[in-house]
Amino acid sequence: MENDLPYLKQFDTAIIVNACGSTIEDYVELAKVLNTLDIDGVELNLSCPNVKAGCLAFGTSYEGVKEVTSQVRKVLDKPLIVKLTPNVTDITAPALGAQDAGADGVSLINTLLGMSIDIHKRRPHLANNTGGLSGPCVKPVGVRMVYQVAQKVNIPILGLGGIVTGEDAIEYMLAGATAVSVGTGNFITPDTAIKVVEGIENYMKQYNIQDVNEIVGAVQMN
């Protein structure tokens, strides 16, 4: 609020705040504050594997997602996106929980829970022992989960996880994502998002696609 928002307001772009917490009360109080800001929306992070006693538990079931989302929805008038964890058996259940609680959209996937061990010290590399695995290696899981969720919900899906090229983005859109997001790719090459946009445009020209929405959910399963 004090530093980032004034800086971001210099640019002609939508501002969506990612919000996380350790309890439902945390989410609600944070949502009340965010509701007073000049922002365009809130992404409710129900999957933060880097927090020891964090929100991971909220995002693993229909009931958990529905409860926290519904409580936030009561105090938040702005567009609400719920970010889901891939560390579940059935990704469609949490997605339905978000939809039924009034979310305007869902984003997936967040990072996969991973672990790395220093074989010489025989201790995990990360101070938290486990952490989020991101980057191109998670894309096939993300694409599969976006496809599964697209078959179950009627709200928009923000697809993310391993997108570094236009082709990656097209995969997510064909699976059912109505928008895509670039995260880790930005740390590899700062202009990744620009290259992704250019890649999407080139794909549309190649196949004479006039409206990018024609791509969404257009995969033809074998």
Q: From CA 166, how far away is CA 170, in angstroms rounded?
A: 6
Is the link from the previous residue into 109 a cis peptide, with omega within 30 of 0?
Answer: yes
Beta pairing partners, 112: 133
Q: Which tokens go with 20? A: 């996380």
Query: What torsion, rounded to 10 degrees, do the Cα atoms 198, 203, 209, 213 define?
Result: -70
Cβ-proximal residues to 222 (8 Å cutoff; 6+ apart), any chain: none
Nearest to 64 by CA among 97, 89, 86, 42: 97
Whole-Å CA distances, 23 to 26, 54, 86, 120: 5, 8, 20, 37
Catalytic residue, from 20, 48, 55, 137: name it: 48
55 is catalytic: no
Q: Which tokens go with 189? A: 């090459």
Secondary structure class of 64 (helix, strand, coil): helix
User: What positions carry a catalytic annotation?
Assistant: 48
